[in-house]
């Protein structure tokens, strides 16, 4: 059966692959005489597929490019995906170096200068967390820069163009008074979230697991060192508010710790 499969395979290959096949499998002076069909496939894979795939993965890892549309998380995932296809998985410093070389210069500087991150102290995951924060902040700032020509008068989507503000009796100097007025009017929703469960509603939702017995294995991320002192306080706050309940479990979903603009968790 193996010989029949080998001869049939010969009819479906050409070029350099057929030359290798004739030289190593069919030639009378070949080094190995008793080929099985499985051995032929492995030989072809090692000669033409495996090496090329590893080289492509290494080149893709080296030339990966950050795309502002897809974001820094996608860029990092692409790097890890290419690294997993390489013959030798790169060390963490290589991944960190390639990651920093690929992100925009302003993001690079912010991570090192503003957040005081260092490859000698921080992990690649910590660099990623702060990069995501920077990216989100930049997008928020860009959004409000684009709408800076409008002055909000009321939360109900009513706006007054600065050029017509004078005609309506409102000036930029009125903004602080208006802000204070809105704070008083909507005091129940602008002073943060109360540390308690919301009232039970008529319609409530839950997310059910598709397979309760499925086990997931992955590398658990770590909380950034800069936030480790704040994490217990935040955890206790959520537990006291009954948003979280301590439970014993075989596994748990990872928790992504992202600092706010003021640096708190």
Find out whether 125 and 73 touch, Cβ atoms under 8 Å: no
Sign of CA dihedral 110, 113, 116, 117: positive
* All residues at 6 or more sequence positions from 87 whose CB lies less than 8 Å from its CB, including other chains: 54, 58
Output phi, psi for 127, to 5 deg. -60, -40
Q: Which of 91, 96, 101 is nearest to 123 (CA)?
A: 96
**DSSP codes joined into one string, 25-58:** II-TT-S-----HHHHHHHHIIIIIIHHHHHHHH
> Tens digit of pLDDT per residue, the chain (265 long)?
678 888 888 888 888 888 888 888 888 888 888 888 888 888 887 776 666 677 788 888 888 889 988 899 999 998 988 888 777 888 888 888 888 889 988 888 888 888 888 877 888 888 888 889 888 888 888 777 665 544 444 444 444 444 444 445 667 777 888 888 887 787 767 777 777 777 777 777 777 777 777 776 666 667 777 778 888 888 888 888 888 888 877 766 667 777 777 777 7
Q: What is the pLDDT of residues 79-120, one digit of tens each?
A: 988 888 777 888 888 888 888 889 988 888 888 888 888 877
**DSSP codes joined into one string, 215-248:** ----PPP---GGGTTHHHHHHHHHHHTTSS----
Q: What is the pLDDT of residues 123-152, one digit of tens each?
A: 888 888 888 988 888 888 877 766 554 444
Return the pLDDT at 7: 81
Return the pLDDT at 108: 86
Find out whether 26 and 9 touch, Cβ atoms under 8 Å: no
């Amino acid at each position: 059966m193996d010989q029949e499969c080998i001869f049939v395979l010969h009819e479906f290959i050409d070029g350099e692959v057929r030359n290798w096949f004739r030289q190593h499998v069919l030639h009378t002076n070949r080094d190995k005489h008793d080929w099985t069909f499985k051995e032929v496939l492995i030989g072809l894979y090692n000669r033409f597929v495996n090496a090329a795939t590893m080289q492509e993965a290494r080149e893709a890892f080296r030339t990966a490019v950050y795309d502002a549309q897809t974001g820094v998380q996608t860029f990092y995932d692409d790097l890890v995906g290419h690294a997993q296809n390489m013959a030798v998985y790169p060390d963490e410093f290589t991944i960190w170096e390639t990651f920093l070389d690929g992100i925009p210069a302003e993001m690079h500087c912010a991570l090192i200068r503003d957040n005081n991150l260092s490859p000698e102290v921080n992990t690649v995951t910590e660099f990623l967390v702060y990069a995501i924060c920077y990216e989100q902040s930049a997008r928020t700032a860009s959004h409000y820069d684009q709408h800076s020509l409008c002055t909000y008068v009321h939360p109900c989507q009513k706006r007054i163009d600065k050029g017509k503000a004078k005609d309506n009796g409102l000036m930029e100097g009125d903004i602080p008074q208006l802000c204070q007025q809105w704070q008083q009017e909507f005091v129940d929703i602008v002073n943060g979230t109360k540390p308690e469960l919301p009232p039970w509603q008529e319609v409530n939702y839950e997310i059910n697991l598709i397979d309760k017995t499925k086990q997931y294995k992955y590398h658990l991320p770590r909380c950034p060192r800069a936030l480790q002192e704040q994490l217990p306080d935040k955890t206790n706050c959520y537990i006291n508010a009954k948003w979280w309940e301590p439970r014993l479990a075989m596994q748990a979903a990872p928790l992504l710790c992202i600092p706010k603009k003021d640096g708190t968790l």
